Amino acid sequence: MKKKIVIANWKMNHDFYETTSFLRDLLKIFFDKKINYKKKVIIAPSFPFLQISNQILQGTSLNVAAQNVHQMENGPYTGEVSASMLRSIGIKQVILGHSERKKYFSETNDILLKKIHISLKYGLNIIFCVGETFFERKRKEQFIVVKNQLEETVFQCTSEKISNFIIAYEPIWAIGTGETATPEQVQKMHKYIRTLFLDKYGEKISKKIHILYGGSINDTNARNIFSKEDIDGGLVGNSSLQIEKFLKILLS
Ligand code: PGA
């Protein structure tokens, strides 16, 4: 059976002290309680703390991901961080396509495709987010919206590169709102996404690809969500910021 993946997307939260103490406490609990969490854990802290996070988690089964990367190799892009910079400090994964980046930083599918190419060039694995808005779902357009997002980005890649992707279905209306999609709604979309991978890349890849859900996952709804056949884990924002809640999600 595929190991589920839980990703903590800390967004613009946790300073140096909070980041390092969270990770040290988490490792201590893992070690002391000898709990088998049965899930692959990835933590996505802010840029300044990627390196220290990587150092703290070195030699453990936990991994670190960046929350973003710039689409250009290098150059006059004040304030930005390149894929080669991330690789130079040992980062191997990056989150791309998050709806907050689209909303607040005007990221389009064109930009995302460039980000995909540069990430793959430098050997970064990609956690790629897709999802519809509230109005798109109201108009029953969620499937076509997600299909278009994938076709303009991830599906531009050859099958050799697809093993570098994790897909995260994040309906925008459920992110940070406390409103979760029902496990049935999520299962339906994940099954649909898997069919798209089947049509494009064949059975082996469609079965292997991890499709995570993100949007107001918490310690009470995680078990139900993770119990569905096509839900291979979660991308967790708010509820990953407190260690107790996060641990409960890992045990779900
Ligand atoms: P949330 O965020 O769990 O706070 O809804 C999820 C995400 O944006 O990845």
- Confidence label for 192 from pLDDT (cuts 50, 70 and 90): very high
Q: Judging by DSSP bridges, how do beta strands 125-130 and 93-96 pair with one another? A: parallel
Rounded to two decimals, what is the model's pTM?
0.96
Cα(236) to centroid(ligand 1), Å: 5
What are the residue ranges spanned by the domains of the chain? 4-250
The arithmetic mean of pLDDT across residues 245-252, rounded, is 93
Decide whether any atom of ligand 1 lies within 6 Å of the 181 Cβ.
no
Q: Which atom of ligand 1 is nearest to the CA of 95?
A: 9
How high is the mean pLDDT of the chain? 95
**Whole-angstrom Cα distance, residue 90 to residue 234?**
24
Scan for tokens 């076509």, then name that residue. 144
Question: For residues 154 and 163, what is the distance between their CA atoms, to the nearest angstrom?
Answer: 11
Assess contact for 95 and 167: CB atoms under 8 A.
Answer: no
- Cβ–ligand 1 distance for 44 under 6 Å, the answer no
* CATH code that applies to domain 4-250: 3.20.20.70
What single letter denotes the amino acid at residue 19?
A: T
**35: pLDDT confidence band, cut at 50, 70 and 90?**
low
